[in-house]
């Protein structure tokens, strides 16, 4: 059975357009509440959000949905996605909800759901909730309607939790750090945690106005961060996205460090310190071949999953791994959380910076990436990847690579895009192949 509402990371889309309407949000609350109301205890859901304007509307609709089926609601306001996962588990809630469209512009929004264990829901759970969306809600009796209240200590709890991810001896005194919070969910908690650990801070993207989330800032646009790091003589730059579950780093020379290099650093560092489990790390099919070769040189393995941090997590659980992530900057460290956490990942990088005494440019470029090109082709509808012309050009490209590279062509789970990625040792060949495939996809997508 194919899901109609849930993508690779919850439900997402332009607000006030199906499915991101207040009406659907209320129904999601009712359906998810129905699925998680089990037993006779008072049921509780924790709801957080990022800073986009539509968060108020979606939050109120979800509160109405959950309370109408008998669930109490705890509202924590603007908080990172991993904070909602943590609070859902630590507060013994039956469900956690994050209202966010992550790195998307403010016009979009989304709903991410977490179970009582703090992990994102399984495909099975999401399908069950979708089934309830088409049925009449099971409304609570008047005396059983849920209550809603705001929880004022959420920020303090999360700041304490992320600081505890570092050993006691690690302090950030003497480090000048530029942090860009994308005018998003972490605009208060991430700078507070770094400051409390002793860092000298320069902050960017910490003045949200409802419409500037991810706009020319954060992990998807690091130009200002690069300029600020170099101009200020900072030791490192940290960029989070709108809901702070992903991380991109800029070294002291202004060079961008992606998730693959971060996984190489964290994986090898944890391995040296006897912390790494599973004999390697988990990444997606999009991670660079250079990462795989580096890990092999360290006698570590790389397990690849489908794109999406939930699939990374599935492979981590299956193989007993405690480090995994995506090239885009999602970092999952199961010793410290149940989902991607950009701030905790940044602290692991800063720990290595402190312990090594070396500059960021030296510790953060552990391998030479294989030439890799990723292009997106937007389409209006249909299934371009099922077209015979597209299948044919992909087959020809695979023959041309002849085992000396990789192709990953897939439909995005969050946007109407076909993502075309090619990598190999011959840069010219990779560019030609990518262009050829994109041209054919564009042709059939018109």
Q: Which helix (H) or strand (E) holds 302?
A: strand 301-305
CA of 97: how far to CAs of 59, 115, 439, in Å? 10, 9, 40
Please state the φ and ψ torsions of residue 78, each to the nearest 5 degrees. -65, 115
The three-point CA angle 220-188-308 to 5° equals: 40
Asked if residue 282 lies in contact with residue 303, where contact means CB atoms within 8 angstroms, the answer is yes
CA distance 332 to 323: 6
Q: What residues does 150 pair with on adjacent strands?
A: 75
Q: Does residue 29 contact residue 83 with C-beta atoms inside 8 Å?
A: no
Residue listed under structure tokens 């956490």: 341
Helix, strand, coil in percent for the chain, rounding step 5 = 40, 25, 40
Give me the half-sphere count of Cα atoms (radius 13 Å) on the Cβ side of residue 177.
29
Spatial separation of the C-alpha atoms in residues 385 and 420, rounded to whole Å: 11
Q: Which of 54, 68, 100, 102 is catalytic?
A: 102
Whether 134 is catalytic:
no
Among 12, 103, 26, 39, which Cα is nearest to 69's? 26
Which stretches within 244-341 are classed as H helix? 259-272, 289-297, 309-319
- Distance (Å, rounded) from C-alpha 342 to C-alpha 242? 11
The strand order across the sheet containing 280-284 reads: 301-305, 280-284, 323-325, 331-333
Write the burial class of residue 218 (CB in 10 Å: 0-12 exposed, 13-18 middle, 19+ buried).
buried
- Look-up: residue for tokens 């009796």? 141
Which strands, in side-by-side order, build the sheet including 417-424? Answer: 372-378, 417-424, 405-411
The single-letter DSSP state of residue 132 is H
Which residue numbers are catalytic?
Answer: 102
């Amino acid at each position: 059975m194919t899901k109609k509402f849930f993508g690779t990371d919850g439900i997402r889309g332009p607000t006030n357009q199906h499915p991101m309407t207040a009406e659907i949000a209320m129904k999601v609350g009712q359906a998810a509440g129905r699925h998680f109301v089990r037993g006779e205890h008072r049921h509780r859901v924790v709801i957080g959000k990022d800073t986009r304007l539509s968060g108020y509307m979606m939050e109120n609709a979800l509160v109405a949905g959950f309370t109408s089926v008998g669930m109490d609601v705890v509202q924590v306001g603007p908080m990172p996605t991993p904070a909602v996962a943590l609070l859902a588990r630590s507060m013994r809630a039956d469900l956690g909800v994050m209202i966010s469209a992550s790195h998307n512009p403010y016009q979009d929004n989304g709903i991410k759901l977490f179970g009582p264990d703090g992990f994102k829901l399984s495909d099975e759970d999401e399908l069950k909730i979708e089934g309830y969306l088409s049925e009449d809600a099971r409304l609570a009796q008047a005396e059983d309607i849920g209550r809603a209240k705001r929880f004022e200590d959420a920020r303090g709890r999360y700041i304490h939790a992320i600081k505890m991810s570092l050993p006691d001896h690690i302090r950030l005194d003497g480090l000048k750090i530029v942090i860009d919070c994308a005018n998003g969910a972490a605009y208060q908690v991430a700078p507070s945690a770094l400051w409390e650990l002793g860092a000298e801070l320069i902050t960017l993207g910490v003045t949200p106005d409802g419409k500037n989330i991810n706009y020319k800032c954060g992990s998807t646009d690091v130009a200002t961060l690069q300029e600020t790091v170099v101009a200020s003589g900072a030791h490192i730059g940290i960029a989070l996205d709108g809901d702070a579950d992903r991380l991109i780093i800029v070294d002291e020379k202004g060079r961008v460090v992606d998730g693959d290099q971060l996984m190489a650093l964290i994986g090898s560092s944890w391995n040296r310190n006897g912390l790494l489990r599973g004999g390697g790390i988990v990444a997606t099919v999009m991670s660079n071949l250079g990462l795989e070769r580096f890990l092999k040189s360290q006698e570590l393995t790389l397990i690849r999953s489908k794109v999406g941090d939930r699939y990374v997590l599935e492979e981590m659980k299956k193989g007993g791994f405690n480090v995994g992530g995506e090239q885009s900057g999602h970092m999952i460290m199961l010793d410290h959380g149940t989902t991607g956490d950009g701030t905790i990942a940044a602290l692991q990088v800063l720990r290595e910076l402190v312990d090594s005494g070396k500059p960021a440019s030296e510790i953060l470029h552990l391998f030479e990436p294989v030439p890799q090109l990723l292009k997106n082709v937007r389409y209006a509808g249909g299934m371009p990847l099922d077209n015979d012309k597209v299948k044919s050009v992909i087959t020809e490209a695979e023959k041309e690579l002849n085992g000396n590279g990789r192709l990953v062509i897939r439909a995005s789970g969050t946007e109407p895009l076909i993502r075309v990625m090619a990598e190999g040792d011959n840069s010219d060949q990779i560019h030609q192949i990518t262009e050829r495939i994109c041209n054919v996809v564009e042709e059939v997508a018109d």
